[in-house]
Amino acid sequence: MTEKIGFFQKIKNGLAKTRQNIIGNVENVLAAFTKIDDDLFEELEEALIMADVGVTTSGKIITLVKNRVKHERVTDVSEIKTILAGEITKILTEGEPEAFNHPYPAVFLIIGVNGAGKTTSIGKLTSFYKSKGKKVLLAAGDTFRAAAIDQLEVWAKRNAVEMIKHAENSDPAAVVFDAVNAAKARAADVLICDTAGRLHNKKNLMEELKKINRVIEREYPEACFEVFLVLDATTGQNALRQAQLFKETANITGIILTKLDSTAKGGIVIAVKDELGIPVRFVGVGEGLDDMREFSAADFAKALFFEEGN
Quick one: pLDDT at residue 1? 41
- CA pair distance 295, 4, nearest whole angstrom: 10
Global confidence as pTM: 0.87
**Three-class SS of residue 21?**
helix
Q: Are 109 and 227 in contact (CB under 8 A)?
A: yes
Residues 263, 174: Cα–Cα separation, whole Å: 38
Largest Cα span, the chain = 69
In this model, does residue 290 exceed pLDDT 80? Answer: no
Which pLDDT does position 309 carry in this prediction? 42
| Confidence at residue 310, expressed as pLDDT on a 0 to 100 scale | 42
The arithmetic mean of pLDDT across residues 123-139, rounded, is: 96
Strand partners, 228: 110, 254
Q: Are 271 and 240 in contact (CB under 8 A)?
A: yes
pLDDT category at 16 given cuts 50, 70, 90 is confident
Nearest C-alpha neighbor of 69 from the set 94, 96, 33: 33
pLDDT digits (tens, 9 = 90+) for 31-72: 999 999 999 999 999 999 988 888 999 999 999 999 999 999
What end-to-end distance do the CA atoms of the chain give, in Å? 13
pLDDT (tens digit, 9 = 90+) per residue, 232-268? 988 888 888 888 888 888 889 999 998 887 777 778 8
Domains and CATH numbers, the chain: 2-93 (1.20.120.140), 106-294 (3.40.50.300)
Sheet holding 280-284, edge to edge: 162-164, 136-139, 190-194, 106-111, 224-232, 254-258, 280-284, 292-294
CA angle 187, 124, 15 (to 5 degrees): 140
Give the burial string for 253-264 (b: 16+ CB within 10 Å, else e).
Answer: bbbbbbbbbbbb
